[in-house]
Structure 1
Amino acid sequence: MTETATTTPTTTPTTGPTTGPTTGQSTGHGVGESARRPDGTLKVTGEFAYASDLWLDGMVWGVTLRSPYAAAWIRSIDVGPALKMAGVLAVMTHEDVPGAKFYGLEHKDQPVLAIDEVRFQGEPVALVAADHPETARRAAAAIVVEYEPREAVTDPRKSEHFVRHQPVRRGDTFEAEVVVTGEYEVGMQDQAFLGPESGLAVPAEDGGVDLYIATQWLHVDRDQLAPCLGLPPDKVRLTLSGVGGAFGAREDLSMQVHACMLALRLNRPVKIVYGREESFFGHVHRHPAWMRYEHGATRDGRLVYVKADILLDGGAYCSSSPAVVGNAASLGVGPYEVPNVRVDATGVYTNNPPCGAMRGFGAVQACYAYESQMDRLAEACGLSPIEIRVRNAVSQGSSLITGQVIDTPAPLAEMLRDLEAMPLPAPGPSRDRDLRGLPGGVSQTTHGESVRRGVGYGVGIKNICFSEGFDDYSTARVRAELVGGEPHVTVHTAAAEVGQGLVTIQAQIARTELGIANVTVATADTAVGSAGSSSASRQSYVTGGAVKAACEAVRERFKGLPAAEALAAYGPIEETREYRHRPTYPLDPHTGQGDSHTQLALCVHRAVVDVDVELGLVKVVELAAVQDVGRILNPQALEGQIHGGSAQGLGLALMEEIQIRDGQVLNPSFTDYLIPTILDMPPMTLKILENPDPAAPYGLRGAGEPPTLSSTPAIAAAVRAATGLRLTRVPIRPEDIALFEEQSGKRSGKGVSDGKRA
């Protein structure tokens, strides 16, 4: 099949192609087909304009001065040396914030610029604008700040400041024939998007400001910005610029308010672009976690109870930690039927970098622990990893530990059997093996003598869309008209295209509903109603639902005529619609009971690994996955989401961790913070099921996050199988594997007790 697409570049302050509008002309590709991404060619050829490519004549450059301390009092700030430098146009501190001095997603606890203290290394303290970025950087370094360092709270287990504590209580039986306990830890993972934070603020004639920004959530950015700038919301206008990945890190503000402050002060366009190191300090990360679990079961492996304590380090400010805690609590035992539960999920403040949204959003950390426990339970009961999971798997009609009934298809047992039936990759020859296929590749010092193979499994359950009573909706405006005598459709939403292919999906829906091939998806901005955040795997559901509803309203006005005849007779037709999913409710603060989630998605993984037990190196040989997506809207894009989510899970399992010592980040670069490359990703075998959710548009089920959950414990389990080590922490480091008691042949891990029979 031949596919074609064209792109119309038009974002005002840029030169070169941009994010939109994007037009898929004459493709005819609707829902269910692999429509070509209209931005794909530009991205592959390097012509796509990201936010860091923004440019306007007369613009100046902004730079942020950041704290070198994790915790300190600010005794004085002397900006004089910076102001004396040639080319410096402005220096601003907290005293220059024109409006509210604090912002935040859920609680407004984060200062625009530090006032009398800093609470994490990298906290913004002052701003500089200059006619050249290097001049701005030198000027920022010339600012003299007198700090009085104080003791930093960096161990969350010692913190007395709580973000949220969410218990879940169910049943009263906490004795069983087989009991396994374990303590688990998950390190701090970075979203590691390739496009750093960037934006361009342009002062407007009405006294407001136009901000061109790479973000996930245009309207919530605006709603935080406007009070800090002392402006009404209608004078703060945001337009989405090219986004080079997000994964949750762009939900919070970074440089948005700083660029706008400088632009309004100078009445000139101001651009801010973070370098890679600054990016590590300029956005939130995945919450590191410390977890203790106890699983009790019958002798034949039926779960009787689960106890869990989940501690999440929220860092210096709140961000979205309360919602992350809620997810960790409600999904804390996984997709298993458990009659008795005692879960306590707690988020605390520390002087570590702030943590917030990242793909999986609280469910990832718990999944690693409960899946490790299921493997321990299988061992204690003499069952296979698949069988223990099948015997306890939820299905439609089951209840979560919160009491919420799963009222849509949840064929977990079937998915596990499908995964089990997939052929395993053939082992390589024991002699003369190609070094490129071994752990460490050609750089290793052995020829495979100490390489051992392991197989592991992982299951994850993830909530889709926002939960706990959040007013989760999206708005779409659809206009149909004749252009050059041919029917044409323009779709306008505020939904952020962050690389997931949302622009493509919106056009596919319009083609399907209206039967018009020529569709333009306009640049996302705040000139249309909110679309919410591009997170929680929600945009195809909620924005897709809004586009579908608006298209249906347009089609109704065709009055049964073909599109061309209707538009010739009635002229341009435009309709705007909001779409909301079914209501959700907050968890009870004492019992954790409540229908808190909109939709639930399942993914299961099998990992095959080769481990060099002498060098501590791991190569993932294959990943196989089975996922139920309700309805496939775009097969190729869907496969990409599953591959991408699996890759981030692999990174958490084996290599990705922000190293922090006494509140100081030790590895803020892609030299020292490792992410998977094409050489680390194995071949993947996928089976995608379609069991429609009758409450969702087209029956779809959000698909971007679930693979991130289950790939991590599957890989960790495979490494355990290869080595015999307990391995209770991710990422697994080479020294975790290579340092063991070789002489006696014993291998034992820390933090997990042996399974016991009562």
Structure 2
Amino acid sequence: MNPKEPTDSLPILSAMGFPGMVHASTIRSTVARAKNFSMLREQLPPGYIRIAAPELAGENVDPAFAEGFPLFAGPSISYKGQTLGLILGPDPGLCDELAEAAKVEYDEEEPELEWESFSSSQIAYRYAVDFGDVDYVFSKSSRKERSVYRNGIFDHYYSEPMGALVNWEYDKMAIYCASQWPDHVRKAVAAAAKVSIGDIVVRPTHLGRSFDGRLWFPSYVACQAAIAAKICRKPVKILYTREEDFLYTLKQARSAVTIKSASDDEGRLQALDIKIIINIGVFNPNAQEIIHQAAAAVTGIYACPAIRIEAYAIRSNILPLGAMGSIGATHALYSIEAHLNHLAKLAGKTPAEIKALNILMKGRSNFGAHPLDSEIPFAKIHRKLEMTSDYRRKYASYELVKKRDSGSRGGIVRGIALTVGYQTGRSFSDKPSMNAYSVETVLDRNLDLVITTQSAIASENLRAMWRTTAASALSIPESAVRFAPPNSDTTLPCGPLTLSRGASTVNKLIERTCRAIQKKRFRESLPIAAKAQTRVLKESVLSSGDSLGGLLFDAASWCGTAVELEIDRLSGEPRPIAVWMVVDAGRIVKKELALSSLRSSIISALNLCIGRDFDPDGTKEQYLSYGRLKFNDLPFIGIEFIDSERTTVSKGLGELPFLTIPAAFHSALTQALGVEPRKLPLAGKEILKLLESPL
């Protein structure tokens, strides 16, 4: 494949190779924390070399990643599985054996694994904001509640294991990897390999569905491959095994959210005192955005006159943890929804009643921020969802069954719950490069349109949507629209393509450039080109200087999700029976593709709620037993779009299942059990204990 020819497909990294290429296998730490680390020098077979921190001392490279995090450990070790070095050679199997057999000496130390109770040295980022007199309201309130909600660690399970390939193409260093943010790869490699950024070309490979797990970690692996390629002056390929990918790549961060609430006798919120702790493992360069998104989302769609939020990103001696399907909001929305359900039970109301009572209304806001310009479509979505899922009848039936058979001796243990949530289109990052997007389109003499953007790394579903938008604006067949390879030497810098932003932004830019071409089309000769750039709006800044909550809803997508589940009375395993979604995401360009994308995300979001969470100290056997939904256990999925014909504006929707399904699943599980589990996921044994405990 010519890397400069327009194409709608990207190469598969695992299938790639170049003449003279060597493979690299990773030497990994077997302990979580150590000092005075050194690697014993051993005789390697001819044609094989080792690269580690000591070998880099005389090389013109910088073996450090963002914020000084080492690409190769030394002299200290920070987590189990950390990269100590690489074995390079022609046979990948032998490289694996040599890496596994590498002898390492170190003085093992006690790792810092505790994260809910932490020292000041573990704080990677802290954020605090308050509005109103929280302490005074609590002192006067007659109803005060405190709950802690926990999320576990989850694996993304990529379509292809993590890896990177570096090749020398004339005077350029070409980087091949599957990344959501190619521009970040380029800058990181330039710094680590000490190569001019103009001499680096990033050629993205097939990304698949990454669920925001490939924002920065591919850059980390690419830097290691680039340093190795610079030293040996040969093409170098790093490709993790499936087990390596499972055990040592970025996972969703775990969290503990403590919510203290003061409410009146009706259940109306008067004050919230919230502490968010997100464990980012040993390192995450996006800790600030994770915390800001969680803090902004933790009040959900509800009004409260007095709020205090304290949020922490906490380091510990385990592998890096970060985003999955949402950069930080999932942890927060799940917690506030669960707490509202708790208040509903205390007030003798249904969850829907307590949520409607507390909904944030037009003209009001939290934190004294910009007031809402329009109503939150809670009632409209909730009514539609109730009808679609037959919620009221089922909820009442399951409540009645539970009263008649509190011990679930009859074997019927079911629950159903609704949640309404949103996906904001705004950014919380202070990094300009994370918020910028660009597109160039060219209509040639054959009336073929070529779209050039780094965002062409996207899935076929997204490219099909963009293709439809361009074809419609120019009145040309969709078959005439192609994408140029998203190589960094032919595209303008671009922010990451995440579930929460990027797709709808690029769609708007494509539409803008095509309309600009259409205006010139019959006045100027072909080819005609047009460029467009924009920045994702950053969340507003409050008068106090804190960035939170001001304009979250002005371009939000909305979603109501209902989850119905059943608990196996013998194993305790929860089984989702059905998931219904009612989505208001603006104009839907390609309905069938939007449905396909949401179904895939729904299944992945359900996986966050079942089985058991990832054990960062686990063994390779965990890879074989890690719980995921099996094909035969997939639930009925019903999705309906509303108001899509009333607007020309498309909004993001990829994050919606991750934001709403954990909250709805937890609430349905609470109804089924009759007690609040306050954590996800729950293993079957834990559920059986809850079922057997007195209500």
TM over 0.5: yes
- The answer to whether the 8 A contact 1:201-1:259 is kept is yes
Q: Match for residue 534 of structure 1?
A: 497
Structure 1 unaligned spans of 5+ = 1-8, 13-19, 24-38, 40-47, 428-446, 561-565, 748-758
Residues 319 and 356 in structure 1, CA contact (< 8 A), matched pair in contact too: no
Give the Cα separation in 2 of the matches to 1:315 and 1:286: 10
Assess if the C-alpha contact under 8 Å between 2:212 and 2:323 holds in 1.
yes
* Cα distance in structure 1, aligned partners of 2:341 and 2:205: 45
The equivalent of 1:193 in structure 2 is 158
Taking the aligned partners of 2:542 and 2:192, their CA distance within structure 1 comes to 32
Is 1:578 aligned to 2:533, yes or no? yes
Shift of 1:400: 4.2
SS of the residue corresponding to residue 739 of structure 1 reads helix
Residue in structure 2 matched with residue 604 of structure 1 by the alignment? 560
Counterpart residue identity of residue 420, structure 2? V
Match of 1:373 among 318, 321, 339: 339
Alignment of 1:210-229 (within 5 A): 210-229=174-193
Cα pair distance change 1:500/1:396, threshold 3 Å: farther
Is contact 1:409-1:693 (8 Å) kept?
no
SS across alignment from 2:251: coil
Letter in 1 for 2:472: T
Which of 31, 40, 52 is residue 69 of structure 1 equivalent to? Answer: 31
- In the alignment, the residues of structure 1 paired with residue 326 and residue 378 of structure 2 have an alpha-carbon distance, to the nearest angstrom, of 19
Q: CA RMSD in A?
A: 2.7
Structure 2 partner of 1:702: 652
Listed as ranges, the matches of 1:103-122 within 5 Å are 103-104=65-66, 108-122=67-81
CA distance in 1, matches of 2:183, 2:244: 25
C-alpha distance in 2 between matches for 1:450 and 1:334: 35
Q: Is the 8 A contact 2:426 2:537 kept in 1?
A: no
**Structure-2 residue corresponding to 1:677:** 630
* TM-score, structure 2 normalization: 0.89
What one-letter code is carried by the residue in structure 2 that aligns with 1:335? I
Cα distance between partner residues in 1 of 2:118 and 2:482 = 51
Q: Which residue of 2 aligns with 1:437?
A: none
User: Is 1:141 the equivalent of 2:100?
Assistant: yes
Give the CA deviation at 1:357.
2.3
1:142, 1:539 → 2: CA distance? 44
1:624 to partner: Cα distance: 1.2
CA contact (8 A) 1:304 1:338 kept: yes
2:596 counterpart residue number: 640
> Quick one: distance in 2 between partners of 1:634 and 1:668?
42
Q: How does 1:334-373 map to 2 (within 5 A)?
A: 334-373=300-339
Deviation at 1:245, TM superposition (A): 2.4
Residues 1:481 and 2:438 aligned together = no
1:331 touches 1:462 (CA, 8 Å); kept in 2?
Answer: no
1:375 offset after TM fit, Å? 0.7
Letter in 2 for 1:538: R
- CA contact 1:71–1:121 (8 Å) conserved in 2: yes
Partner SS, residue 451 of structure 1 = coil
CA distance in 1, matches of 2:130, 2:556: 21
Over residues 85-105 of structure 1, what are the superposed CA-to-partner deviations in whole Å (9 max), with x where a residue is unaligned? Answer: 13415534354263333222x
SS of 2:603's equivalent in the other structure is: helix
2:510 match: 547
Residue-by-residue CA offset, 1:587-629 (whole Å, 9 max, x unaligned): 7887655647574333221111111334312211111112210
Q: Secondary structure at the match of 1:716?
A: helix
CA distance in 1, matches of 2:564, 2:52: 54
The 3-state SS of whatever aligns with 1:137 is: helix
Contact preservation (8 Å) 1:22, 1:522 = yes
Structure 2 residue 262 is matched with structure 1 residue 312: no
Distance between the aligned counterparts of 1:402 and 1:128, measured in 2? 57
Which residue type is aligned with residue 641 of structure 2?
Answer: I
Normalization by structure 1: what TM-score? 0.82
Say whether residues 1:522 and 2:484 are aligned partners: yes
Q: Mean alpha-carbon deviation: is it higher for 306-315 or for 52-61? A: 52-61
Residues in 2 aligned to 1:530 and 1:448: alpha-carbon distance in whole angstroms: 61
Q: Distance in 2 between matches of 1:615 and 1:241?
A: 42
Higher share of residues assigned helix? 2
Partners of 2:205 and 2:61 in 1: CA distance: 26
SS of the residue aligned with 1:220?
Answer: helix
Equivalence for 1:714: 664
The CA deviation at 1:282 is 4.1
Structure 2 contact 612–626 (Cα < 8 Å) conserved: yes
One of 585, 602, 609 as aligned partner of 1:653: 609
How far did residue 231 of structure 1 move? 0.9
2:495 is matched by which residue type in structure 1?
G
The residue type equivalent to 2:516 in the other structure is A
Moved more, 591-600 or 349-358: 591-600
Distance 2:124 2:551 in 1: 19
Residue 675 of structure 2 is aligned with which of 718, 721, 725? 725
Q: Quick one: structure 1 residues 609 and 303, their matched pair in 2 at CA, closer, same or farther if it must change by over 3 Å? A: same
1:543/1:579 contact within 8 Å kept:
no
Classify 1:144/1:494 alpha carbon distance in 2 versus 1 (closer, same or farther; 3 Å). same
Deviations 1:673-694 (A, max 9, x none): 2222332321122222237998
Name the counterpart of 1:431.
Answer: none
Task: Say which of 458, 482, 487 aligns to 2:419.
Answer: 458
Q: Does 1:326 align with 2:276?
A: no
Q: Secondary structure at the match of 2:252?
A: coil
Give the letter for the 1:411 counterpart. P
Greater alpha carbon shift after TM alignment, 222-231 vs 259-268: 259-268
Q: Post-superposition shift, 1:478?
A: 0.7
Cα 1:241–1:468 change in 2 (3 A) is closer
2:149/2:258 contact within 8 Å kept: yes
Q: Structure 2 unaligned runs (5+)?
A: 395-407
